[in-house]
A and B are shown apart, each in its own frame.
Chain A
């Protein structure tokens, strides 16, 4: 299968969309944000577009306009459902698309997340992934009360960097634990040998004995090795240290190119090599899209959304405002520069996702850049990633 030569498309879901005014769009279904139906409908639509995967944002604090400190605003979407739960619910109702919920590594237990994602892989017959993210907000740590974290705003740039780096170091460990736990059962450990009365062959179960600076985990998992062997691990990176994390620990990296599409690649590849990883790492560029029939309509929409939000749209990622051909050009140029594809962040889910599925996808297919149907079953298949061998198997 030569899926690696095609462009990979991911969809990033967060609330009603990535524009803070999105929830006020008449089509946005903001009052349904906390229902199963809302999420199922969106993912089914993305599946109709044969997208590789959907990521679902999450957090352990209420959303904040500055991304860091809780605020008293009542005019923005606040509150969300646990992304792993949403993914499992939707996973039972879809058949092909990959589901990648977000998990915060700083405050959760890798043992719990490992089995939850393994279970998602069982529920979806091999379509599970997880996006790992550090939790650096002070209010997040106050919700757990187990560790004192400083506050970004108290720190200068260097301080912020070393603060984040420590959390990324811990995330490397966290992913290592996830992967060891997924491998802690060999694929054929369940033997059901009636003759000897043994349900499992315990020689094919393995203690993982992870010892790190922040936690240790003994293993084995209580959940057998999932269908993909290892579900797909994803991470978002804006800077050197997270790019290294992508190289050492992830299967899929989301980066945020603005001028130089390939900026992150040397760091990611170098980290990959240092970690002795021969497996591929797919790197997708993030882009927030305000997509419409033509550039004028798109610009009008953005202006209206900005009015609704009371401020102009800002983003860590590139903002694309325009029609389908221009976005297809952008993705094509990113591919040429060495990226594996794009993760699209719709400004308004209910408006931009239909444009993606009915406009962008056919356009990319016409250009021979995107699949016309799913040709594999698992998320690894879609991404052209091999099923990993088990590190513990003899």
Chain B
């Protein structure tokens, strides 16, 4: 029996504060002005994309004790910008990354419920667990949560938030002027939650929103992160946009669902993906090489290397050979506030491989960093890209992609105008929104208020 053709899900990531963004390009616009967000969102909606996605950072990043100044710095408040965008779009989902450490469930629940009301059911929440004390210095709560507690708090935070959202039923607001009855029952919104993280009770004060709850995204990659997603999330924002890694990740996460009584269709896997479109494949390759050099300046390359070496490498020439000193394996202090700084399992070994490779291929520091710090997920003509995306999805390397253009806000236009029509021609991407809510457009099962309450408990 042949597998039915899968429908592809596509979303747009407003470029954030990292070196995938090419701010030095003359076409690069504001990362803060509302006009940029509006143009980007309306382009995504023109392409019938599922949703717009925003990352989060709550402390300016530092390197060597100073504010990191080589990438885009600064972003607006996630909730505020999504509420504003709900006014200038009709169908596009609005997904915000909101962490579970520097917030409280009552506040987050009422903000997502409000966003869902204002957008007519288009809110989504990417639950992240960033926990470092460095970021905590900006908050009352302070910030240190031991690593083994952050997913515990995230899990309980999410459960608590859903319990608050489920404390109102669909028909609790009667608003019958004739009879004088506004609420259906005196205890609408009542909740109580007592666990290791939260000891709260009372009445939630936003009535049930169109989706009942936001669509839930998860982004963590660790075993706990994957388990958390399998148990709780509607979609995963993953790093694994490459075919083989994507298939492995996909198989792993989807196989975890049964344990939680969920079907494979209940959780979408959506990797972040960058792209460079050209008139021909060769043209695109050339452009991609130019973009990579724009993304990795000499100074950026040194900074990147410092994150692995965990030491000051500012004396090195980016056009010269790799440092022959070994990484400092002590406490990682060189770069702070970066979600992307992974604890490299064995930095000494990593440095050794990189040195060998650079020597063998005659690569400078900058060349090497361009080679290893990631590449574009899709490079080619619009046709090539459409075929590759379709292949990834049909072969279960993903259920679609969250597109990260490198130019703000215009970088999505080419994809929408050139690639989307080809996917529509293939019959693997919608020609119009199928539902009113994001949940419907994502093809996720809808939850009645009773099911919602049952799942939260």
In the assembled complex, how far is the CB of residue A57 from the closest CB belonging to chain B, in whole angstroms?
A: 12
Selecting from B52-60, B144-152, B265-273, B426-434, the interface stretch reads B52-60
- Contact assessment for B32 and A79 in the assembled complex, using a CB-CB cutoff below 8 Å: no
Assess A85 versus B114: contact at CB under 8 Å? Given A60-B107, A115-B77, A224-B32. Answer: yes
- Contact assessment for B200 and A79 in the assembled complex, using a CB-CB cutoff below 8 Å: no
What are 21 pairs between A and B in contact, CB < 8 Å? A36-B87, A36-B119, A72-B187, A74-B186, A75-B182, A79-B189, A80-B206, A88-B80, A88-B84, A89-B86, A92-B87, A119-B81, A123-B80, A197-B299, A199-B72, A200-B69, A202-B67, A202-B69, A205-B60, A215-B140, A222-B74
Q: CB within 8 A of A220: which of B60, B69, B72?
A: B60
In the assembled complex, how far is the CB of residue A294 from the closest CB belonging to chain B, in whole angstroms?
A: 26
- Contact assessment for A119 and B87 in the assembled complex, using a CB-CB cutoff below 8 Å: no
- Contact assessment for B33 and A197 in the assembled complex, using a CB-CB cutoff below 8 Å: no
Assess A93 versus B87: contact at CB under 8 Å? Given A79-B189, A79-B207, A194-B24. Answer: yes
Interface of A toward B, CB cutoff 8 Å:
23-26, 28, 30-31, 33-36, 40, 59-63, 70, 72-82, 84-86, 88-93, 107-109, 111-112, 115-120, 122-123, 125, 139, 142-146, 185, 190, 192, 194, 197-202, 205, 214-220, 222-224, 308
- Contact assessment for B117 and A81 in the assembled complex, using a CB-CB cutoff below 8 Å: yes
Q: A79-B173, A122-B76 are in contact. List 11 more A-B contacts (CB 8 A).
A: A25-B177, A26-B177, A28-B177, A34-B173, A36-B118, A62-B203, A86-B83, A89-B84, A111-B58, A197-B299, A223-B76
Of chain A, the residue at the smallest CB distance from B58 is A222
Assess A192 versus B23: contact at CB under 8 Å? Given A70-B202, A73-B186, A109-B139. Answer: yes
Q: Which residues of B contact A59 (CB under 8 A)?
A: 205
Residue with the highest number of chain B CB atoms closer than 10 Å, among A89, A142, A205:
A89
- Contact assessment for B85 and A92 in the assembled complex, using a CB-CB cutoff below 8 Å: yes
- B99-119 vs A, Cβ < 8 Å mask (1 yes, 0 no): 000111011001101110111
In the assembled complex, how far is the CB of residue B42 from the closest CB belonging to chain A, in whole angstroms?
A: 12
Of chain A, the residue at the smallest CB distance from B197 is A145
- Contact assessment for B189 and A62 in the assembled complex, using a CB-CB cutoff below 8 Å: yes
- Contact assessment for A199 and B34 in the assembled complex, using a CB-CB cutoff below 8 Å: no
Q: CB within 8 A of A31: which of B32, B111, B175?
A: B175
Q: Which residues of B contact A90 (CB under 8 A)?
A: 87
- B148-175 vs A, Cβ < 8 Å mask (1 yes, 0 no): 0000000000000000000010000101
- Contact assessment for B202 and A86 in the assembled complex, using a CB-CB cutoff below 8 Å: no
Q: CB within 8 A of B66: which of A23, A73, A77, A202?
A: A202
Q: CB within 8 A of A120: which of B80, B85, B199?
A: B80
- Contact assessment for B114 and A82 in the assembled complex, using a CB-CB cutoff below 8 Å: yes
Q: CB within 8 A of B205: which of A80, A119, A197?
A: A80
Q: Does B183 contact A (CB under 8 A)?
A: yes
Q: CB within 8 A of A81: which of B60, B118, B186?
A: B118
- Contact assessment for B106 and A111 in the assembled complex, using a CB-CB cutoff below 8 Å: no
CA distance A80 to B206 in the complex (A): 5
Contact residues on B (Cβ < 8 Å of other chain), bracket: 35 or more
- Contact assessment for A139 and B203 in the assembled complex, using a CB-CB cutoff below 8 Å: yes
Of chain A, the residue at the smallest CB distance from B66 is A202
Which 5 pairs, one residue from A and one from B, show the smallest C-beta to C-beta distance?
A119-B80, A72-B186, A82-B114, A88-B83, A218-B137
In the assembled complex, how far is the CB of residue B94 from the closest CB belonging to chain A, in whole angstroms?
A: 11
Q: Which residues of B contact A107 (CB under 8 A)?
A: 104, 107
Q: Does B184 contact A (CB under 8 A)?
A: yes
Q: Which residues of A contact B114 (CB under 8 A)?
A: 81-82, 85-86
CA distance A91 to B118 in the complex (A): 13
Q: Which residues of B contact A308 (CB under 8 A)?
A: 180
Of chain A, the residue at the smallest CB distance from B73 is A200
Assess A201 versus B69: contact at CB under 8 Å? Given A139-B202, A223-B32. Answer: yes
In the assembled complex, how far is the CB of residue A76 from the closest CB belonging to chain B, in whole angstroms?
A: 6
Q: Does B198 contact A (CB under 8 A)?
A: yes
- Contact assessment for A199 and B187 in the assembled complex, using a CB-CB cutoff below 8 Å: no
In the assembled complex, how far is the CB of residue A334 from the closest CB belonging to chain B, in whole angstroms?
A: 34
- Contact assessment for A116 and B77 in the assembled complex, using a CB-CB cutoff below 8 Å: yes
